[in-house]
Structure 1
């Protein structure tokens, strides 16, 4: 009986309170509404919304609970205007199927989050001048403080870029020269180390499975391959070209398997090396007994290839960290920077490279 009386007495109050809060939610709750419900000042709600220190945990939880109950979302645009920044970095890129681009983007997002920034991705579907120009134009409509660009520099040079005021730019993995701040992997150093490793093993020369012609990364690796051979007094074999994919590596491998003078191959990335390994195996050319193969990237799966792939390790996490650090430094100084920062590479030696057979050696 007592329970029934208690229920009947409390029932009218429950719906009334619910209706009141529901009405406030429908009308978009304000910071003042949150403050009243949590029993704190609007200044405290603001501090919690902005993630500032100085609010004890119990009070913070009260405010967060009130926000959830009212469906309140802080007005990030208003806060950004007040602070003069949106705490968001735009990233323009194309070719998300590329291992390098994906891992660089992942590293940028991780580094940005560690600094308290979000990332807005602007993918360029087709790397044409109009698409690139459109991506930069859209920046004017988005709340971003800075931009990191992961794309071929000839597209940057070929278009007239109009950036929102005070938006700083860093270019990743490109050859932008003095036009932008550039963070790049030491493509040349890594490629030279790969070729030198194969020559030191005793191979007469090193064939090269290059990346696509329009890629600056591919071009730098090709130039370094050729330069290292010339300095060693070796003749550079005819270039074999792929498109970064394992399938193109497989097609190239079918060609190279028919060359008895091909005893060592430097592939411009690990995916093409994977296809190359398959083609050589199918054609009865064993790795590394008949042909040594070395890749570039050191993707997580490269140690599980058959045989495990010798490759050049790229530090994508460091590239991402330096890109984010670069744009933040420019933002805080409010001045653009110029020049290139190279992130070192290192050779990872596994079982896909070995000295040539006695009948193949010098």
Structure 2
């Protein structure tokens, strides 16, 4: 694909499982690649020999992942190959992981959480359901906002919230191309917009927090009520809208713009436009964390060191995940910049407010929507 076709975007004027089962990663079993590979991993991942040995003695790790499954599988597979630790994973939305960990209440069925925006991480942090860990590799995180001050979670990537639309459908329907969030409440878009489910998707929780911080509490909730009148589908996962724009099933979608890049570059949908909202937008911080009461605590700590290393995060762009990385010794995905995205060109997101109020805001939005309807029961991706 040429640089011209890759730069198929619009930047606004001023800004810009239980039901699925656990999947075993490939690679050797518990006895595979121990001392020799452990030393090699020590040099590349930055974990101590003592931690590697203790983790290998546990011999197992269970990962709940809220990033895209290709990246999740690649990371888990590589961790197993490097350390010889049997690694299983399940892909769940951040809201699903939050609900699962809350239900298990300190006796988690998984060891670590990988990927997905941090608003749900912050909720379970407040509830005492994550295990603080002082990670050696946290020294490579580029900004304090990309980590919890007490070590409950660490950021691994960041991505911009934005608008995506199908150029062909917008032209065929004779509607204006949206340039900002405020445009999306216009009645010309009735039935044309897809977003994600406030009850299940971390992306949707970020949307709520963004609008409340952007417009004010009451005005932000009213915006979401007005937007709801134009929304046809709420998908279970935040990436759901992006997956249906290229096919034309979804005309306009709200979500992370790196998911749109994947659809353009990897899936070949040149009919997708990306919009950085003209009045400014927010960004997610994708994170990783240890669950309180994890059955394999040393393997979990080793995972955190691994997740904060180039060994792990550079697998993202190799597997269709084009978020900006937040550690200083990793190579950034150049393609995100080619599409005009800038992780610094975002609003000053109040993570503390989100930490303290996300559940309340979700409840308030759902109440304002009359409790929701069958669109919030969707099983879409």
Higher relative contact order (CA 8 A, sep 6+): 2
* TM-score, normalised via structure 1 length: 0.38
* TM-score, normalised via structure 2 length: 0.36
